[in-house]
Amino acid sequence: MRVWFLSAALALMCMAQTATAGTILIVGDSISAAFGLDTRLGWVSLLEQRLKEQGYDDKVVNASISGDTSAGGLARLPALLAEHKPEVVIVELGGNDGLRGQLPAQLKQNLAGMIDASQQAGAKVLLLGMQLPPNYGARYTQSFAAVYAELGKEKKVTLVPFFLEGVGGKPELMQADRIHPAVGAQGLLLDNVWPALKPLL
């Protein structure tokens, strides 16, 4: 009888562990797609390792595409939500919008659409903010950066103000193109994300 109770307890523990395991969907651009690197060395792969090391069973789906914009992410998101049914959606987009000089108002509209769709699907959202180099002009760079802060407040989502904090502008942490983070920066990117992501798991 005692053995039966122990077996039942173990079974319940396993069921509870399975029930709490969810899916983290990452919709991003080349930074999350590990452009120019072995994907096994990118920050998303490092995230998978950290989850396992800290006892999380969550599955990570990396739906990032190099060159993608907020419009592209918005268009792709409904099918991704339907297929993967994530508990958490990490949105890492906007850099390519800025590099192309697209209007911050359009960026905000697209990202807001992604947040709304994710929340309506029952997912928590983590928004990774981006900033542009100063050579794009003070007015544009300020308006661009403000999009993320405004959305964080208006949509009540968790925000990492600047995903490339401690990485951007440091040649030793960037690839030769000075746009994409190098291998040595990937752990820093994860460290920028982790404190904001962990409470959502």
Residues forming the active site: 30, 177, 180
Sheet with 88-92, strands from edge to edge, namely 59-62, 23-28, 88-92, 124-128, 158-160
Extract the runs of DSSP E, i.e. beta strands, from 108-192.
124-128, 158-160
Q: For the chain, give percent helix, strand, coil, nearest 5.
A: 55, 10, 30
Q: Are strands 23-28 and 59-62 parallel, antiparallel or unpaired?
A: parallel
Long-range pairs of 8-17 with CB within 8 A, sequence gap ≥ 24: 17/57
Contact 143, 102 (CB under 8 A): no
User: First-to-last CA distance in the chain?
Assistant: 37
Rounded Cα distance, 29 and 34, in Å:
9
Contact call for residues 76 and 63 (beta carbons, < 8 A): yes
